[in-house]
Amino acid sequence: MQDFVFQNATKVIFGKDTEQMAGQESILYGKKLLLHFGGGSIKESGLYDRVVQSVKDQGIEIVELGGVQPNPRVSLVREGIALCREHNIGFILAVGGGSVIDSAKAIAAGVNYEGDVWDFFTGKSAVEECLPIGVVLTIPAAGSETSGGTVITAEDGWYKRAVGHETMRPKFAILNPELTYTLSSYQTACGITDMMAHILERYFTNVKHVELTDRLCEATLKTIINNAQTVLAEPENYDARAEIMWAGTVAHNDWLSTGRIGDWGSHDIEHEISGIYDIAHGAGLAIVFPAWMKYVYKHDIKRFAQFAHRVWDIEVDVNNLEKTALAGIEKTKQFFSSIGMPVSLAEAEIKDDRIDEMARKGTERGPLGNFVKLHEEDVRQILHMAK
Amino acid sequence: MQDFVFQNATKVIFGKDTEQMAGQESILYGKKLLLHFGGGSIKESGLYDRVVQSVKDQGIEIVELGGVQPNPRVSLVREGIALCREHNIGFILAVGGGSVIDSAKAIAAGVNYEGDVWDFFTGKSAVEECLPIGVVLTIPAAGSETSGGTVITAEDGWYKRAVGHETMRPKFAILNPELTYTLSSYQTACGITDMMAHILERYFTNVKHVELTDRLCEATLKTIINNAQTVLAEPENYDARAEIMWAGTVAHNDWLSTGRIGDWGSHDIEHEISGIYDIAHGAGLAIVFPAWMKYVYKHDIKRFAQFAHRVWDIEVDVNNLEKTALAGIEKTKQFFSSIGMPVSLAEAEIKDDRIDEMARKGTERGPLGNFVKLHEEDVRQILHMAK
């Protein structure tokens, strides 16, 4: 086990009707807030009205900024920063999924920074402080509701980059599984893939003696897998939606990574795909992860065999661990496919003509991943395996 | 799943030599602290000197209060409260195991309370605020290092009572597995039993659809079980000590109880035993838990069968779930015995002549437990089964 420091102070408020607590939690951070959201879905569902009412009941003044897109753009982040400065806003309430929360975090980091916010994402500058933010979550997927990270896309060159800082963790996260009933099958499946990928990135580590967190990872993966078909078949099954929603947070709130070093190569490769093609992050991960697994599994066949056995209940062939390992990878790919995800670039209608560009851009700041260090040629090969 | 609010903001600093960070973490809470500890073991091991040096390096003034005993006494808590008031102390650094931390929490709760601190434990008054406390942990067992609870014993009548409050959670907890190398086999086994009991109290619930937390509980139990014989056979095995130490925190930091209602009847029964006989809490739990399980298992045979299968790898007899359930209970008892714990009152040299008194005292504030509500007669029968 690695030495570690762990702290995650986000207050999670989980259950039915909890969005009505948005106001009483927000008032702790001031009398004025930026309400940040995406498209019209929260207005259609009535969620917007309920949150606004809850906030207004506390006498809080609202400045609005909607329009966050999937793969949130730095241009809207800049708009948010300007709004916060203009109205002297000290708190941001994000109502939506990972894109909205990530956009809110980037705004929060940029308000008190003199330069351009994209500096944080190029590495030109480091985040030092953020405005406090709160979350009403509508899409369980990104885990951004309690994480200290954000991923933003710059339209200029379609770079998609991640930044993390402890002060980015939301002060509170409101999770009502009922709010996820209206998600489409595709959105639901993308979320399931994303949360599984967050665990897989943590699971494939070179750190030895990580039994507790191995088992916690496996427990969370099994729960997601066991509830996936249920939420797809019965979108209004509260119990299954609740398991998936809480698992999505647990997948990325750092409980599962204590004492480990994660990989994150597949996430970085995926960012190159969705940065250019604007596909859903979860769909991109379903394409990349099986190819990545096949490319790297020989680095630690035992770990992949353990994964196959404990997560997918595949019997261990003690005389042929490689066979067991490969069966686990195949099962992972089949699972993503079974929930409606593309598992190749072709299935996502992406041609192979920009693979070289993605491999180059993805590695221009250095090799990707930790389990196996991936250089430009490695990324190119993985993307070709994912064709 | 139950609706829940979860927040645990304790900063965990885990790894080798981390006690040297005690000073830099403490200075955030002021220039004067109460250093609270137990007997001479931390002086013999050199830990006392290292912590004091780290604190003095930050220019922090130290007022000392040692002498905390297992089953910490309210008389020493009162002494600590008087010391804090006399020296105008605003921060307590607890160096030790659960007893020291619990004692520190009770002092922290009492300093700014006008009445007698025991009022909190009788229910006469409720905790509203606490001084901040920090922890350097030496015995992984109680989980008190990140919990919001404390258990104190009043010598007058030998009542052992628990109190909880969010503000009791330590601000930081320093966990260095090396500090546990010098624990005796008996202390180590008591700790293992205590942390397993914390998970079992959470596991046996009537709340339906708690798959994620069921699996997280099972993962943590399996890890403890897998590493128990190793730490007993090789006390200086860092990797196994680290697994046990972190599992001890995870068992009681409330990750595993999100969305559940725990039982806690066995803990309450044990408090009656160790309140009178002053045996180690872990040893008392090893006596009570198997008897409790046998007394209540028919309430939910399926849950006990799942426990047997997933934690103890017992094959499920689908035609006889009761047999599977009973095998799991027997395995639990055998395990406690295998690590040197007493599994009956007789093995702890406790006669059965005060069972009636324990049953009466234990239930005088109402029935115990949630999985099954236990009245005086139930507690009496469980204690007789544990003879």
Closest Cα of chain A to B212: distance in Å?
A: 6
Which residues of chain A neighbour B246 with C-beta distances below 8 Å? 1, 212, 258-259
Chain A within 8 Å of B259 (Cβ-Cβ)?
A: yes
Query: CB distance from B239 to chain A under 8 Å?
Result: yes
Q: Give the three-class secondary structure for B95.
A: strand
Which residues in chain A have their CB less than 8 angstroms from residue B2's CB? 15
pLDDT, residue B122, reads 93
Q: State the pTM of this model.
A: 0.97
Identify whether A335 is part of a domain: yes
Query: What is the band of B121 on the pLDDT scale with cuts at 50, 70, 90?
Result: very high
Per the domain annotation, does A6 fall within a domain? no
SS3 A137: strand
pLDDT at B235 over 90: yes
Q: CA-to-CA distance for B302 and A202, rounded, in angstroms? A: 33
Q: What is the torsion angle, in degrees rounded to the nearest 10, for the CA atoms of residue B322, residue B325, residue B331 and residue B337?
A: -90
Inform me whether the pLDDT recorded for B157 exceeds 90: no
Whether chain A has a CB inside 8 Å of the CB on B11: the answer is yes
For the segment A322-358, what is each residue's pLDDT rounded down to a tens digit? Answer: 999 999 999 999 999 999 999 999 999 999 999 999 9
Q: Which of B134, B142, B127 lies closest to B170, judged by CA?
A: B134
Q: Do A212 and B226 touch (CB under 8 A)?
A: no
Q: Is A223's CB within 8 Å of B215's CB? A: yes
Q: Domain check: are A93 and A122 in the same one?
A: yes
Which residues, including other chains, have CB under 8 Å from residue B319's CB and lie 6 or more apart?
none
Of the residues A179, A214, A235, the one at which a domain ends = A179
- Lowest model confidence (mean pLDDT) among A64-68, A121-125, B271-275: B271-275
Q: Do A18 and B2 touch (CB under 8 A)?
A: no
Whether residue A270 lies within 8 A of chain B, CB to CB, comes out as no
Q: Given an 8 Å threshold on Cβ–Cβ distance, is B246 in contact with A219?
A: no
pLDDT tens string A174-202: 999 999 999 999 999 999 999 999 999 99
Contacts of A31 (CB under 8 A, 6+ apart): A59, A60, A61
Written as six digits, the tokens of A63 are 């400045």
Question: Is the per-residue pLDDT at A157 higher than 90?
Answer: no
pLDDT at residue A368 in the model: 98
Contact status, residue B209 vs residue A243, Cβ threshold 8 Å:
yes
3-class state of residue A3 by DSSP: coil
The verdict on A1 touching B (C-beta cutoff 8 Å) is: yes
A20 touches chain B (CB under 8 A): no
| Cβ–Cβ under 8 Å, residues A127 and A109 | yes
Q: How far apart are CA A268 and CA A321, in angstroms?
A: 29
pLDDT band at B202 (very low <50, low <70, confident <90, very high): very high
- Is B72 in the same domain as B157? yes
Give chain A positions within 8 Å (CB) of B9. 7-9
Final residue of a structural domain among B158, B179, B200 = B179
CB contact under 8 A, B3 and A12: no
Residue of B nearest to A225 (CA): B212
Which range is least confidently modeled, B19-23, B50-54, B175-179, B273-277? B273-277
Q: What is the CA radius of gyration of chain B?
A: 20
Structure tokens at B313: 């790898």
Output the pLDDT for position A192: 98
What mean pLDDT is predicted for residues A234-240? 98
Chain A residue with minimal CA distance to B12?
Answer: A6
Q: Best interface-test mutation with B: which of A2, A4, A6, A171 has the largest number of B CBs within 10 A? A: A6
Per-residue pLDDT tens over the stretch A249-265: 999 999 999 999 999 99
Q: Is A233 touching B (CB cutoff 8 A)? A: no
Label the pairing between strands A149-154 and A159-164: antiparallel
pLDDT (average), residues B215-236: 98
Tell whether A246 is within 8 A of chain B (Cβ).
yes
> Would residue A1 count as lying in a domain?
no
Cβ contacts of A255 on chain B, cutoff 8 Å: 255
Residues A17, A80: one domain?
Answer: yes
Give the CA angle between residues A44, A50, A51 to the nearest 5°: 105
Supply the pLDDT for residue B100: 98
The CATH number of whichever domain residue A258 belongs to comes to 1.20.1090.10
Mutation test of the interface with chain B: which of A246, A249, A261, choosing the one with the most B Cβ atoms within 10 A? A246
Tell me which of A179, A199, A218 is where a domain ends: A179
Residue A4, in any domain of the structure: no
Query: Which residues, at least 6 apart from A225, have a Cβ–Cβ distance to it below 8 Å?
Result: A196, A311, A335
Q: Please indicate if any CB of chain B lies within 8 Å of the CB of A13.
A: yes
Torsion sign across C-alpha atoms A346, A349, A353, A359: negative
* H-helix or E-strand spanning residue A133: strand A133-137
The half-sphere exposure of A119 on its side-chain side, counting CA atoms within 13 A, is 12
A118 and A213: one domain?
Answer: no
What was the pLDDT predicted at A275?
Answer: 85
Is residue A372 included in any domain, yes or no? Answer: yes
Residues 6+ apart with CB under 8 A from A151: A72, A102, A160, A161, A162, A271, A281
Q: What is the ipTM of this complex?
A: 0.97
Q: What percent of chain B has pLDDT over 90?
A: 96
According to DSSP, the β-strands at B32-37 and B92-96 are parallel
Asked if A6 is an interface residue toward chain B (Cβ–Cβ < 8 A), one would say yes
Structural domain that includes position B120: 11-179
CA B292 to chain centre: 18
Interface contact flag, A220 B212, Cβ < 8 Å: yes
Chain B residue with the nearest C-alpha to that of A209 = B239
Tokens, residue A246: 């809480």
**Cα(A105)–Cα(B30) distance, rounded to whole angstroms?**
31
Instruction: Choose among A7, A11, A246: nearest Cβ to B12.
Output: A7
Does the pLDDT value for residue B160 go beyond 90?
Answer: no
**Which of B238, B203, B201 lies closest to B219 in space, CA to CA?**
B203
Q: How far apart are alpha carbons B238 and B181 in whole angstroms? A: 8
At A160 the pLDDT is: 87
Averaged pLDDT, B200-225: 98
Which residue bears the tokens 């999100």?
A: B258
Question: Could you tell me if A257 lies within 8 Å of chain B, comparing CB atoms?
Answer: no
Tens of pLDDT, residue by residue over B296-323, are 999 999 999 999 999 999 999 999 999 9
B65: phi then psi, degrees, rounded to nearest 5: -145, 100
Q: What are the tens digits of pLDDT across the range A273-297?
A: 988 998 999 999 999 999 999 999 9
Q: Are residues B231 and B132 in the same domain?
A: no
Residues A240 and A260 in one domain: yes
Q: What span, in angstroms and rounded, lies between the C-alpha atoms of B271 and B277?
A: 10
Q: Is A2 on the interface with B (CB under 8 A)?
A: yes
| A218 part of contact set with chain B, CB < 8 Å | yes
Are A210 and A326 found together in one domain?
yes
Interface residue B215 vs chain A (CB under 8 A):
yes
Question: What DSSP character marks residue B256?
Answer: T
Q: Is residue B358 part of a domain?
A: yes
Query: What pLDDT sits at residue B275?
Result: 85
Give the residue ranges of DSSP H helices in chain A.
Answer: 22-26, 41-44, 47-56, 74-86, 98-110, 119-122, 185-203, 211-233, 238-250, 265-277, 281-296, 301-312, 321-338, 355-362, 376-385
Mapping DSSP to helix (H, G, I), strand (E, B) and coil, where does residue A185 land?
helix
Q: Which of residues 66-125 of B touch A (CB under 8 A)?
A: none
**Residue A214 forms part of a structural domain:** yes
Instruction: Tell me the DSSP string of B26-61.
Output: HGGG-SEEEEEE-SSHHHHTSHHHHHHHHHHTTT-E
What's the CA gap between A339 and A278, in Å, rounded?
A: 20
Burial class (CB in 10 A: 0-12, 13-18, 19+), B302: exposed
Q: What percent of chain A has pLDDT over 90?
A: 96
- Taking the Cβ of residue A227 and every Cβ of chain B, the question of whether any pair is shorter than 8 Å is answered with yes
Neighbouring residues of A35: CB distance < 8 A, sequence distance ≥ 6: A51, A52, A55, A62, A63, A64, A65, A93, A95
pLDDT over 90 (residue B40): no
Same domain for B193 and B138: no
The pLDDT of residue B47 is 98
In angstroms, the CA B120 to CA B130 distance is 12
Which pLDDT belongs to residue B256?
Answer: 98
Residues A214 and A124 in one domain: no
Residue A83 has pLDDT above 90, yes or no: yes
Tokens found for residue A350: 């992406």
Query: Is B246 within 8 Å of chain A by CB?
Result: yes
- Same domain membership, residue B73 and residue B128: yes
B278, pLDDT greater than 90 = no
- Cα dihedral A54, A58, A59, A61 sign: negative
Could you tell me if B28 lies within 8 Å of chain A, comparing CB atoms? no
CA-based nearest residue in chain A for residue B17: A3
B4 phi, psi to nearest 5 deg = -155, 160
Are A169 and A208 within one domain?
no
A–B interface: beta-carbon pairs under 8 A: 112
Beta bridge partners of A8: B8
Q: Do B18 and A2 touch (CB under 8 A)?
A: no
**Total structural domains in chain B?**
2
Rounded CA-CA distance B190/B231 in Å is 13
What CATH number corresponds to the domain at position A74? 3.40.50.1970
Specify the pLDDT at position B155.
92
Contact A219 B222 (CB under 8 A): no
Cβ contact, residue pair A11, B7, below 8 Å: yes
The reply to whether A77 and A201 lie within a common domain is no
Query: Within a domain: residue A283?
Result: yes
Contacts of B8 in chain A (CB under 8 A): 8-9
Any A CB within 8 A of B219 CB: yes
Residue B172, SS3 per DSSP? strand
Cα Rg of chain A (Å, integer):
20
* Contact at CB, A212 and B246, closer than 8 angstroms: yes
CA B13, distance to chain mean position in Å, is 19
Contact B353, B310 (CB under 8 A): no
Q: Is B261 on the interface with A (CB under 8 A)?
A: no
